[in-house]
Amino acid sequence: MTPLREGDIAPGFSLPRSRDSFVSLDELTAGGTVVLAFYPGDFSSVCTNELCMFRDGLSEFGQLDARVVGISGDSHFTHEAFRKANRITFDLLSDYDHSVARLYGVAYDDFLGLKGAAKRSVFIVDRERRIRYVWSTESAANLPDLDEIRRRLYAMRGGAE
């Protein structure tokens, strides 16, 4: 399974962000550019590292008119505990059946016994739902290059890459 590519139109979805609230890709992109950060699961050391990196860079992403959203197969209950434990202020969406990870081509066949868990992947999606950047890895130990993500976002605003 290969991930979607730059230039593709991002498939739509609607996922729970809490017990009583769902959000769609259309709602997310209506506000501008979205950074979709897929990750295998809450509370693992590498995933905690990654999401805290995004948390720490959140104000800079905001200055680049980009909203960060995390997506994994964990439940909204687990996401809420993870958000509180790590002071995560952006949305974590529950892809509990791994359908969105599959749509984006970033689902493991088997990850430590978890069928369909999301590969660590990042997609930058613009207001028109066009994918402007893709990064995905087979190794869950690898982290995305936040400097490269920032460069891409800056370039989207008309700056030099």
Residues of the chain with pLDDT under 50: 161
What is the number of structural domains in the chain?
1
Q: Does 142 fall in a domain?
A: yes
Q: Does 160 fall in a domain?
A: no
pLDDT of residue 157: 84
Does the pTM exceed 0.85? yes
pLDDT of residue 152: 95
Q: Does 1 fall in a domain?
A: no
pLDDT of residue 1: 61
- pLDDT tens across 89-116, in order? 999 999 999 999 999 999 988 777 667 7
Q: Does 112 fall in a domain?
A: yes
Active site residues: 47
Q: Does 36 fall in a domain?
A: yes
Q: Does 161 fall in a domain?
A: no
- Residue numbers of the domain that contains 90: 14-148
Which CATH number goes with the domain that contains 134? 3.40.30.10
Q: Does 2 fall in a domain?
A: no
What is the per-residue DSSP string for the chain? -----TTSBPPP-EEESSSS-EEEHHHHHHTSEEEEEE-S-TTSHHHHHHHHHHHHTHHHHHHTTEEEEEEESS-HHHHHHHHHHHT--S-EEE-TT-HHHHHTT-B-S-BTTBTTPBPSEEEEE-TT-BEEEEEE-S-TT----HHHHHHHHHHHTT---
Q: Does 139 fall in a domain?
A: yes
pLDDT of residue 20: 81
